[in-house]
């Protein structure tokens, strides 16, 4: 049996910091991910069944739907996610720009969103497009808002124009703190106090833990959202507690942390070494670290050099346009039950 070297000899700074880790950080391993399905998978590397968390999965012709329900405070700590329902649509074929698949995604998204909607048809909805319209990977929210069918002004000035099956919908893109100088939560709260919506829908770009989920995943959550959390910018959350009304969050991962890419690459290399060179010393050394410790070491190497970047695929321009249309169509269908698929499609062109 090979001897396990003490952690403080292999990586002193990591050993020292472990003594300062908070209980939440010790309970969960979720580097730069906004996706509950990833946080759950990472938590299950430590225990087979995470207390206070349930998960179910369904397959729909190229669309994998995973529903994660965080039910208790213990589940919140384990996943680093607020209590609530998280629905993830994974569509690997979305990157290939298949119009038929995109249409099926719209229909499934609308169905899953309606299941979490739970509000009267006469209710008022405020859609908030979070993000910076001038930065492509962060422009999802503003682009979705541009394609929504907003009706609040129509109900106000032309009350007989729309029939049954259309809700009162308003939409806004509040910008980002670096551009406006005002916290997003402050802007949204001011609008909420005036419009008094029954529901706020927050749309934002997210960060993923896994490369294969970037540009191929949509998440819906009823727990609210913290703008910028996926890339380390902690802002005041938009949730029922801060806004005084129910909040549904819709997000699409468009970026991944460079440390995550390096970590995944290292794992692939070490696994290859184990197969080709049994007993390889390098792989044995790194076997002594758990996934969290490996990721932490890579981040320590990259950050002082300014190389711990947030990375997005080169096709991001086309993808943002496509997925903004998908999300906008799905929201239009879910918020306005009388709208047809053809009408929703025409609005988003």
Q: Which strand (E) or helix (H) includes residue 320? A: helix 316-335
**Residue given tokens 């569509």 in the structure block:** 91
* Cβ atoms 289, 297 nearer than 8 A: yes
Spatial separation of the C-alpha atoms in residues 163 and 158, rounded to whole Å: 11
3-state secondary structure of 222: coil
**Residue given tokens 């946080």 in the structure block:** 39
Nearest to 344 by CA among 149, 207, 138: 149
Domain ranges within the chain, ordered by starting residue: 33-257+315-339
Give the per-residue pLDDT at 294: 65
Give the per-residue pLDDT at 293: 66
Tokens for 76, please give them: 């919140």
Which residues make Cβ contacts (< 8 Å) with residue 69, sequence separation at least 6?
53, 54, 55, 84, 85, 86
Which residues make Cβ contacts (< 8 Å) with residue 254, sequence separation at least 6?
137, 138, 140, 205, 206, 214, 215, 312, 316, 319, 320
Give the per-residue pLDDT at 157: 92
Tokens for 26, please give them: 């010790």
* Cβ atoms 249, 84 nearer than 8 A: no
Name the CATH superfamily for 33-257+315-339: HybD-like (3.40.50.1450)
3-state secondary structure of 122: coil
Q: Between the CA of residue 105 and those of 16, 116, 331, what are the distances in Å? A: 47, 17, 12
Spatial separation of the C-alpha atoms in residues 176 and 182, rounded to whole Å: 8
Angle at the Cα of 53 (from 49 to 54), degrees rounded to 5? 85
Give the per-residue pLDDT at 234: 60
Nearest to 288 by CA among 269, 314, 270: 270
3-state secondary structure of 255: strand
Spatial separation of the C-alpha atoms in residues 82 and 221, rounded to whole Å: 10
pLDDT tens for the chain, 349 residues: list them.
Answer: 445 445 455 555 554 554 444 344 433 344 568 999 999 998 888 888 999 999 999 999 899 999 999 999 999 999 989 999 999 999 999 988 899 999 999 999 999 999 999 888 889 999 999 999 999 999 999 999 999 999 999 999 998 888 889 999 999 999 988 889 999 999 999 999 999 999 999 999 999 888 889 989 999 999 999 775 545 556 688 999 999 999 999 999 999 877 777 777 777 666 666 677 666 555 566 666 666 666 666 666 666 555 557 788 888 999 999 999 999 999 999 999 999 998 888 877 7
* Cβ atoms 95, 319 nearer than 8 A: yes
Give the per-residue pLDDT at 216: 93
Spatial separation of the C-alpha atoms in residues 192 and 92, rounded to whole Å: 36
Which pTM value belongs to this model? 0.81
Tokens for 302, please give them: 């990259």
What is the gyration radius of the CA atoms in the chain, in angstroms? 22
* Cβ atoms 52, 75 nearer than 8 A: yes
């Amino acid at each position: 049996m090979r001897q396990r070297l003490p952690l403080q000899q292999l990586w002193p700074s990591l050993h020292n910091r472990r003594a300062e880790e908070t209980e939440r950080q010790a309970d969960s391993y979720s580097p730069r991910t906004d996706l509950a399905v990833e946080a759950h998978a990472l938590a299950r590397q430590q225990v087979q069944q995470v207390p206070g968390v349930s998960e179910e999965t369904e397959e729909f012709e190229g669309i994998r739907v995973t529903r994660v329900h965080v039910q208790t405070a213990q589940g919140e700590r384990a996943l680093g996610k607020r209590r609530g329902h998280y629905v993830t649509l994974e569509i690997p074929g979305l990157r290939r720009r298949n119009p038929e698949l995109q249409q099926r995604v719209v229909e499934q998204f609308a169905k899953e969103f309606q299941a979490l909607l739970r509000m009267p048809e006469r209710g008022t909805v405020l859609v908030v497009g979070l993000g910076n319209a001038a930065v492509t990977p962060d422009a999802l929210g503003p682009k979705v808002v541009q394609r929504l069918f907003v009706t609040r002004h129509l109900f106000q000035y032309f009350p007989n124009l729309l029939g049954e099956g259309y809700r009162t919908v308003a939409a806004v893109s509040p910008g980002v703190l670096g551009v406006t100088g005002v916290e997003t939560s402050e802007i949204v709260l001011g609008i909420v106090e005036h419009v008094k919506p029954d529901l706020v829908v927050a749309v934002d770009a997210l960060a993923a833990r896994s490369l294969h989920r970037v540009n191929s995943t949509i998440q819906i959550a009823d727990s609210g959202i913290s703008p910028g959390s996926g890339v380390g910018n902690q802002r005041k959350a938009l949730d029922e507690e801060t806004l005084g009304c129910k909040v549904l969050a819709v997000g699409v991962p468009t970026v991944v942390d460079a440390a995550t890419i390096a970590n995944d690459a290292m794992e692939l290399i070490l696994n290859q070494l184990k197969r080709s060179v049994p007993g390889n010393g390098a792989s044995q050394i790194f076997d002594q670290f758990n996934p969290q410790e490996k990721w932490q070491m890579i981040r320590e190497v990259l950050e002082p050099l300014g190389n711990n970047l947030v990375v997005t695929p080169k096709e991001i321009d086309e993808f943002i346009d496509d997925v903004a249309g998908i999300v906008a169509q799905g929201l239009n269908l879910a918020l306005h039950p009388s709208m047809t698929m053809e009408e929703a499609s025409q609005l988003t062109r």
